[in-house]
Structure 1
Amino acid sequence: MIVVMKPGATKEQIQHVVDVVNDYGLKDHVIYGTDRTVIACLGDKRSVDKGAIENAPMVEKVVPILAPYKMASLEVKREKSIIEIGPERFPLGSNKVGIIAGPCAVESREQLMASARAVKKAGCIGLRGGAFKPRTSPYSFQGMGEEGLKLLAEAREETGLAVVTEVIGLEQVEVVAKYADVLQVGARNMQHYPLLEALGKVDKPVLLKRGMSARLDEFLLAAEYIISAGNGKVILCERGIRTFEEYVRNTLPLTAVAELNDKTHLPVIVDPSHGTGHAHLVPSMSTAAVAAGADGLIIECHPDPEHATSDGAQSITPASLDKLMKRLKRVAQAIDRDL
């Protein structure tokens, strides 16, 4: 359930309600909105006297939450969550659409710095790049590890771009958080619950990718694990699902963007690279995603896709990225947004 405070409630009055909620053995999660404050109450509510809570000073009402994902739901927070990322504190989830781009994997200093400079020049707000790579084959390139993270930090120092990189195991959370601005959870780890709970204790944004066979409610419940553990800075990423089709690597269901915007206050971005698996499809799907209401995109861009160590087939070139950004700006403006 949620406790909705009246406009103008003081910090002392809010804390009093939190204390009452805690006295009933419930866990509180306070959400400060522009107009009013909401207190989400989590736990066994069978012994709770709702009337007693409603009688507390400046409480407007106590409302049950019907969605299984409590704190990710619009029932708890009606306004969009804005998550600031990177040195320049880009407000993802605002009226501005944010584009993150870069190579699938960090391969060398030369490759990464060339990518970062191109991404910055194109007008993107973040640099993606995997230092740790969870590959289907154990014989494929697994990433540069911490050396790759250091290169990403160096690229951020020069360009001011936010660093977005994947954490693939519990033992990597601390080291990735040391270098990255946004910690990414890949599709394979969407339901790695101990990892999600560990990321809930990190004070940095988490980019959560949808599992390739996950339903939307399972996706939102995965986000709930992170939020309920204490980190509300979750960014949802639709990256395509596995279907019977073979002309694409994954099927990119852009209806999910509109549906998620109707169910959750969390920012929603799209990965058109994994969502298609083919570079020539990335511009069209990027355009469609922005038109559908995505708050951002995460795109694979490599200075030499033909020689990329991973995902070269779905990586666009810096020249293509530059052209795409101009196109996306026009689309964003057509739907009263900016880029």
Structure 2
Amino acid sequence: MKHTLDIIPLQDWLNTDGKPLIIAGPCSAETEEQLVSTAHLLANTGKVNVLRAGIWKPRTRPGEFEGIGSIGLEWLKRAKAETGLLTAIEVATAKHVEEALAAGVDILWIGARSTANPFTVQEIADALVGVDIPVLIKNPVNPDISLWLGALERINRAGIKKIGAIHRGFSSYEKTAFRNEPMWDLAIQLKTLCPDLPVINDPSHICGNRELIPYISQKALDMDMQGLIIESHIDPSVAWTDAKQQVTPAALSELLDNLAARQAASNDPAFDDNLATLRTEIDKLDDQIIQKIGERMKIAEKIGQYKRDNNVTILQVSRWDEILQKRTQLAQALNLDADFAKKFLELVHNESIRKQNAVMNVQPTAQA
């Protein structure tokens, strides 16, 4: 089901000459010199559209640096005046919105912690009524597409039409190479539900370290995201917050040079014809897969009836272990990712369990 948002397309409110939108700047505005010097270096690359900086920093625990506060807005004004870069900051309260607007900030964004709280989002939305300013909304900390959509809808209903989303990854109990798991499927789901919504990727917060930023940045562009928001500091080694995930302006320039910006579509009729042929083959295979799964579930129902009639439990752990081991081995032999195979088998197994459970307590029909 598509979600209807009243959106002004990104290219109509921020001209990037058909290139991805690049938002960059320090995680935190620390000193006036640090912010303005970084802004000049970023502007000199000729590749950055918007200067970002953290003015108010919501931290997990009290006692950590929580932002320089309102004085940082004056530094941003100076940076904008000297470089011509647009400016963007995070807001988390109505007071933040009021101060940012008074200081002439060009773009606002709502952070992951705020997105997770509808009360906070509504407070920000109420403060934006009657205002014409772009607002970007990060995904919530936890993987909840409804919360993300809800925040977008609240801001949109306040009259904000220049609206976009920021994909910054999601918290996960599993320890991986990333600070926040990308969970690309949720970003894809959002783009599917809201096809006209600009989605910007935040590789800095996904990665948590600068080494992985190029990989995630390229993947984001390959996924047809409209831009990147990357943390950049004049000297990341002395940054007051998130030092490991920030890059110098020179490193950012090199990173951007090495990215391949791909087209959303081709103007070559031969390409379109060949692609259509391949997609037709995919469609046929998908139909066959669904049909085979349907046949499998009919057998699962028969097994459920047989177990019911013989007073046997639905779950057979040894059988499930056997399926998982053999099918995963087969998947790997076919050059399929083992994690994908495991997740697919779990989905099929869960549906089989559901089917068997549905018939487990239904008494067999007496024969005449």
TM-score (norm 2): 0.65
The DSSP-based 3-state class of the residue aligned with 1:204 is coil
Query: For 2:15, which of 86, 90, 97 is the aligned residue?
Result: 90
Any conservation in 2 of the 1:167–1:183 contact (CA below 8 Å)? yes
> 1:334 offset after TM fit, Å?
6.3
Aligned to 1:121: 44
Aligned to 1:183: 108
Q: Percent identity?
A: 35
> 1:183 offset after TM fit, Å?
0.9
The DSSP-based 3-state class of the residue aligned with 1:100 is strand
**Which residues of 2 match residues 197-216 of structure 1 at below 5 A?**
197-201=125-129, 202-216=131-145
> 1:124 offset after TM fit, Å?
0.7
Aligned to 1:245: 174
The DSSP-based 3-state class of the residue aligned with 1:156 is helix
Any conservation in 1 of the 2:52–2:89 contact (CA below 8 Å)? yes
Distance 2:44 2:187 in 1: 28
Aligned to 1:168: 92
Distance change >3 Å, CA 95–CA 336, structure 1 → 2: farther
1:281 matched to 2:204? The reply is no
Any conservation in 1 of the 2:222–2:262 contact (CA below 8 Å)? no
Aligned to 1:134: 58
Aligned to 1:29: none
> 1:197 offset after TM fit, Å?
2.0
Amino acid at match of 1:71: L
Distance 1:81 1:155 in 2: 27
Distance 2:34 2:265 in 1: 36
The DSSP-based 3-state class of the residue aligned with 2:258 is helix
Larger fraction in helix = 2
Give the CA RMSD over aligned residues.
Answer: 2.2
Query: For 1:223, which of 152, 157, 176 is the aligned residue?
Result: 152
User: Runs of 4 or more off by more than 4 Å in structure 1?
Assistant: 333-337
Residues 178-207 of structure 1 show CA distances to partners (whole Å, capped at 9, x for unaligned) of 221011110010132333422541321111
Query: For 2:233, which of 291, 294, 302 is the aligned residue?
Result: 302
Amino acid at match of 2:144: R
Aligned to 1:317: 248
1:110 matched to 2:48? The reply is no
Distance 1:327 1:208 in 2: 27
> 1:144 offset after TM fit, Å?
1.7
Residues 92-124 of structure 1 show CA distances to partners (whole Å, capped at 9, x for unaligned) of xx8431111110010111111121112212211
Aligned to 2:121: 193
Larger fraction in strand = 1
Distance 2:232 2:181 in 1: 20
Distance 1:159 1:183 in 2: 19
Any conservation in 2 of the 1:279–1:313 contact (CA below 8 Å)? yes
Distance change >3 Å, CA 325–CA 169, structure 1 → 2: same
> 1:172 offset after TM fit, Å?
1.7
Distance 1:196 1:243 in 2: 27
**Which residues of 2 match residues 52-63 of structure 1 at below 5 A?**
none
> 1:135 offset after TM fit, Å?
1.2
TM-score (norm 1): 0.71
Any conservation in 2 of the 1:120–1:159 contact (CA below 8 Å)? yes
The DSSP-based 3-state class of the residue aligned with 2:89 is strand
Distance 2:9 2:229 in 1: 19
Structure number, greater radius of gyration: 2
> 1:218 offset after TM fit, Å?
2.3
Show structure 1 runs of 5+ residues with no match: 1-65
Distance change >3 Å, CA 165–CA 289, structure 1 → 2: same
Distance 2:33 2:146 in 1: 42
> 1:303 offset after TM fit, Å?
1.3
Distance change >3 Å, CA 249–CA 199, structure 1 → 2: farther
> 1:236 offset after TM fit, Å?
0.3
> 1:138 offset after TM fit, Å?
1.5
Distance 1:319 1:160 in 2: 19
Distance 1:83 1:95 in 2: 8
Distance 2:92 2:204 in 1: 19
Amino acid at match of 2:257: K
> 1:168 offset after TM fit, Å?
1.8
Any conservation in 1 of the 2:98–2:127 contact (CA below 8 Å)? no
Amino acid at match of 2:55: A
Distance 1:126 1:175 in 2: 19
Distance 2:94 2:124 in 1: 9
Distance 1:238 1:231 in 2: 19
Show structure 2 runs of 5+ residues with no match: 267-368
Any conservation in 2 of the 1:241–1:250 contact (CA below 8 Å)? yes
The DSSP-based 3-state class of the residue aligned with 1:274 is helix
